[in-house]
Every structure is written in C-alpha cells, then in structure tokens.
Copies of this chain bind each other. A is one copy, B any other.
C-alpha cells in the first residue's frame, strides 16, 4: 500500500469560525493544492468525540434505546451514546451516558474500537465501549429534551436486527461491528 497523495501536496489555511452550535462549531477555510495551484473553500464540523455503548446484561441481552432524532425526524433504534466531555475519557463518558440514558451500570468499560464518523466533514472519532454484566441500578436521568425508552434484545438476535434493518444508524452499526469482532475473538459462541 504505497501512498501517492501525501498531505504535503495540500496546504490547509487556518479556518474561520462560521457558526457555534451545541453539537460543534462550523468552520471554513481555504485548501490549496501546491502542485496544481488550485484552491477551494472547505467546510468542517469541529465536534467533540462521541461514544456508543454496548451494554450487555448477565443473560446476554443488549440494551437498545428508542429516541426521536431531529436530523431524521423519526424515532430511531440505537444503543446509548453521547459526546465525550472535555477532559473525560471515552470510557468514562460511556459509563456516564449509559447511566443517564438508561439507568444501567455494570463492569468497568472495555474499549472495543473507534471510527471516524465522516473524515470528509468532521475531525472527531466515535468510540465503542462494552459494559458487561449491566443491570438497571437507578431510573434514567434525562436531559429535559431527551425522551428515551430502553429495551433489551438478546445478543444472538441483534445481528438479525442489523440484517433486516430496524437499526439503520450507521454509527450504531459500526459499534455492532466492533462487538462482533470482539465476540469472535473472545467468545466460545460461534
């Protein structure tokens, strides 16, 4: 795998802030191709890292949630997740978001993997952590604009739910990808 397009071909000018939002800052800046002497303005969402949580109960059920999403204008089937706060580790953020959104807690979080949600437009990562032996220990503590219902599905069933599309959120499918790889490496299940 040789690399014929090093970043050295590109000059990235300091971007300017266009819009501050609760989900990040929209910036724009000039990108210049040194060899072609061509330039264009590119846009970027400067967002915090995100984390999704695979929470597995002692009976091997996974915690799923339903919530209304403003982007799709629909109730989505997802796993718990949220933004990593400044100074917080993804593992700590995962533990916190799981508790806030579902009231579940369990073993110390295990990092399964990460993706770049969209390296064309964003600078951040989305991590997946596993919290095993999860049980509901308290009622959820929603933000006033969160209205989340949680339910359980056996881990053997969740991959069917992936194939037949009740789960359509790309980042949740990424999380299940890391979970599948981890199970293949660590489990006696096939």
A-side residues, CB < 8 A to B, are 1-7, 9-10, 12, 18-19, 21-23, 26, 28, 31, 33, 36, 38, 40, 42-45, 66-77, 113-123, 126, 144-145, 147-149, 151, 162-163, 165-166, 168-171, 173-174, 177, 181
Contact = CB atoms under 8 A, between A and B. Distances in A.
Given A19-B19, A73-B7, A173 B122 contact: no
A139 to B, nearest CB: 14
- A-B residue pairs, 9 tightest by C-beta: A72-B119, A115-B170, A42-B70, A4-B149, A69-B119, A21-B43, A71-B122, A71-B121, A71-B119
Contacts of A122: 71-72
Contacts of A28: 21
A31 B71 CA distance: 11
Contacts of A7: 68, 73-75
B5 A66 contact: yes
A116 B33 contact: no
B71 A123 contact: yes
A118 B47 CA distance: 13
A169 B119 contact: yes
- Chain B CB count within 10 A is highest, among A28, A116, A165, for A116
Contacts of A75: 3, 5-7
Given A168-B114, A174-B173, A73 B12 contact: yes
A4 B12 CA distance: 47
A19 B174 CA distance: 30
Contacts of A22: 43
B31 A70 contact: yes
A40 B145 contact: yes
B33 A147 contact: yes
Nearest to A163: B181
Given A9-B68, A12-B73, A18-B19, A169 B116 contact: yes
